[in-house]
Amino acid sequence: MPEPGTSSVRGVALSQAQGWGLLVGSNDLEVQSARIATGRAENPLVKAFAEHMLQSHGDAAASERHMAERLGMAVATSPELEQLATAEKQRAKSLQTLAEAMGTLHRFEQSYVESEIHEHEQIIGMLSSEIPNSLTDAQLRAHAEGQMEVERQHLDEAKRVKEQVGY
C-alpha cells in the first residue's frame, strides 16, 4: 500500500511532485502537438480546435507551474511521465512527417484529431486515478479535479470535430 501522499501506479509509487509533474508534463506535450497542427491544418474546424488546445493547455501548464512555485514544490518526473513523453514524441514525429508530406493534409488532420481523442482519454484516466491519489495539498487536488472537467470538454470537442469533419 502506498504511503500517504503517494499513488501506486503499475507498482510504482508517485510522490505529490511526480503526480503534479505528470499533469504539467501532459499539458506541455499537448502544446507541442497543437503547435504542429496550428501550423499545418487547413480545415477551419481542425485549425480552431488546435488553436484552442494550444491556448488551453499552455495556460494550464503555466498555472500549474505557478502553483508549484508558490508551494515551493519542484515539478518532478516519473516513469509514467517518461512513458507519456516517449509516446508523445512518437506522435509528434508522425504528425510532423504527415505535415511535411505532399498530399497528406486530410490524413494529417484526421490523425491529429484522432490522437487528441486518445490523448484526452488517457489524461482523463490519469486524472481519475494516479494524479489525485498522489496529491495531498487541497489546492492542488482542487485544481486537478477542475482540470478533469476541462479535459472532458476537450474530449467532447475533439469528438465533435471528428464527426463534423467526417473522419
CATH code for position 118? 1.20.1260.10
Q: Which domain does 129 fall in, by range?
A: 13-165
Predicted confidence at residue 69, as pLDDT, reads: 92
Report the number of distinct structural domains present in the chain.
1
Helix, strand, or coil here: 41? coil
With respect to residue 96, please indicate whether it lies within any of the assigned structural domains: yes
With respect to residue 75, please indicate whether it lies within any of the assigned structural domains: yes
| Tens of pLDDT, residues 105-153 | 778 898 899 999 999 998 899 888 878 888 999 999 999 999 999 999 9
Q: H-helix or E-strand containing 17?
A: helix 16-40
With respect to residue 8, please indicate whether it lies within any of the assigned structural domains: no
Say what the pTM is: 0.82
With respect to residue 5, please indicate whether it lies within any of the assigned structural domains: no
With respect to residue 6, please indicate whether it lies within any of the assigned structural domains: no
With respect to residue 2, please indicate whether it lies within any of the assigned structural domains: no
